[in-house]
Amino acid sequence: MLEIFEPGRNIPVIEDTDVLVAGGGIAGIAAALSASRNGARVTLVEKEYALGGMATLGLITIFLPLCDGMGHQVVYGIGEELLRLSITYGAEADYPCAWLDGKSAEERRHHRFKVRYNPHMFAILAEKLLRESGVNILYGSSVCAADVQDGLISHIIAENKSGRVAIKVKNVVDCSGDADVCKLSGEDTYTNPEGNGLANWYYYHTKGEVKLNMFGLADVVPDPKLRLTAPDEVERAASIGDMRFSGVDGVQLSHAVQLAHSKMLDDILSRRAKSPDLVPVTVSAIPLVRMSRRLRGRYELCETDMGKKLHDSVGMTGDWCRNGPTYEIPFSALVGNRIKNLITAGRIISTSDAVWNVTRVIPPSAVSGQAAGTAAAMFSSFDSCDVSALQERLVAQRVKLHMDQEMD
């Protein structure tokens, strides 16, 4: 490939912050909120102009369960707070009355603690919450480089309307969904070899009702036969099932989104043939990416950890697609081996491929976000920090670390 040389240049340092959160999806919201509540000066850098990531701009408006499917709540703390926030002005569907209206234990066993919310209200309410908590939000800014010295990130560089700007940092929480900061700073990462299937969720209006169409491929179980679509095959991808994209190749991602748009148009027109008044009212504004690149951390959470008590647990999650299984999320799955002041949260924490499908959704992203943000406010490095002090702080903030921990 041809290359050009980009000359060095001076970049203005526009801020000095304790905790820089890269990305304002669910993980970033939880991380910024918890870091700020634990006394840090926090800057959240987000490339779009709204919070929520996939959960708002991507129209993924199903807050998956906070429970284990057997009647026990496992996600508390900021995870529960965000679920409640998302329905402040009413649920879009599936209001969890068994959980929020004090119904019996028997009813909670039969209904999972999940809800459907309005994405626009949630994005605005999350922004209000962070602003009121003192978080400095920098929108329209894409993190594009990290200045690393002796295993520590000293500055994060972002690109926005002003050009390139630098922010001096003490700690960084990577909540980019694609482990961008890990990659840019030289931390070890792993890219999903199977890539992602196309999806493009949209809302439409017909017969006086607004409905969500979860258009595209349903969640897929890992399949070793699946492979990424080669660049010269993209144009030939005829159906939505024909393409698999990594999520971290800019050109391929752009093609994937265009193909998804064109297939979505076909879908709208074929539905309109049956319901002539049908119109799309909101379409996903960002690419829908499930599992792209993640941290290769000090520990990889795997299926054999299901139901196990982990000594460095910083929160718990259920399994959204199965009733029963629970996982504790260990601190060692949030941090890597190379960069001492970098921690991760959300769909990029260190897991096996199978467990990735569990930890990538909204509730566990809020759990890891709260843990990472709290740790980033407490410690000056994640090298040899006191995890038991972090656990104590999280328990005081209503986080369930272990299944046998009593909660009120």
Ligand X SMILES: Cc1cc2nc3c(=O)[nH]c(=O)nc-3n(C[C@H](O)[C@H](O)[C@H](O)COP(=O)(O)OP(=O)(O)OC[C@H]3O[C@@H](n4cnc5c(N)ncnc54)[C@H](O)[C@@H]3O)c2cc1C
Which residues contact ligand X by CB under 6 A? 22-28, 45-48, 53-55, 60, 62-64, 142-143, 175-178, 180, 199, 288-290, 346-347, 360-362, 365
Contact 28, 346 (CB under 8 A): yes
Q: How far is the CB of 273 from ligand X (least distance, A)?
A: 25
| C-alpha to C-alpha distance for 136 and 347, rounded to whole angstroms | 23
**Residue 169 tokens, joined:** 């940092």
Q: How far is the CB of 116 from ligand X (least distance, A)?
A: 9
> What is the maximum alpha-carbon separation in the chain?
66
Backbone CA torsion sign across 282, 287, 291, 294: negative
172 forms beta bridges with 20, 342
| C-alpha to C-alpha distance for 309 and 296, rounded to whole angstroms | 22
Q: How far is the CB of 293 from ligand X (least distance, A)?
A: 11
**Cβ-based nearer residue to ligand X, 221 or 381:** 221
**Cβ-based nearer residue to ligand X, 242 or 272:** 242
**Cβ-based nearer residue to ligand X, 98 or 288:** 288
**Cβ-based nearer residue to ligand X, 154 or 381:** 154
Q: From residue 407, how far is each of 80, 139, 326 by CA, in Å?
A: 13, 37, 16
**Cβ-based nearer residue to ligand X, 127 or 178:** 178
* DSSP string for 186-201: T--EEE-TT-EE-B--
For residue 43, the tally of other CB atoms under 10 A from its CB is: 25
**Cβ-based nearer residue to ligand X, 309 or 322:** 322
List all residues 6 or more positions away from 186 whose beta carbon is below 8 Å from its beta carbon.
148, 338, 339
**Residue 127 tokens, joined:** 């922004």
Q: How far is the CB of 283 from ligand X (least distance, A)?
A: 13
Q: How far is the CB of 215 from ligand X (least distance, A)?
A: 9
Backbone CA torsion sign across 310, 313, 319, 325: positive
**Residue 346 tokens, joined:** 């959300």
Q: How far is the CB of 286 from ligand X (least distance, A)?
A: 6
| C-alpha to C-alpha distance for 253 and 195, rounded to whole angstroms | 11
Q: How far is the CB of 343 from ligand X (least distance, A)?
A: 13
Residue 227: helix, strand or coil by DSSP? coil
**Cβ-based nearer residue to ligand X, 152 or 349:** 349
Q: How far is the CB of 408 from ligand X (least distance, A)?
A: 26
**Cβ-based nearer residue to ligand X, 21 or 234:** 21
- Return the closest-CA partner of residue 329 out of 318, 319, 316, 344: 316
**Residue 357 tokens, joined:** 């499908």
Q: How far is the CB of 119 from ligand X (least distance, A)?
A: 11
Q: How far is the CB of 259 from ligand X (least distance, A)?
A: 15
Which conformational region is residue 375 in: left (phi greater than 0), alpha (psi within -120 to 50 degrees), or beta? alpha
**Cβ-based nearer residue to ligand X, 157 or 237:** 157
How big is the chain, counted in residues?
A: 408
| C-alpha to C-alpha distance for 155 and 158, rounded to whole angstroms | 10
For residue 193, the tally of other CB atoms under 10 A from its CB is: 13
**Residue 148 tokens, joined:** 């690393």
**Cβ-based nearer residue to ligand X, 313 or 344:** 344
Q: From residue 332, how far is each of 94, 256, 375, 396 by CA, in Å?
A: 35, 34, 12, 21
**Cβ-based nearer residue to ligand X, 214 or 385:** 214
245 forms beta bridges with 196
Q: How far is the CB of 360 from ligand X (least distance, A)?
A: 5
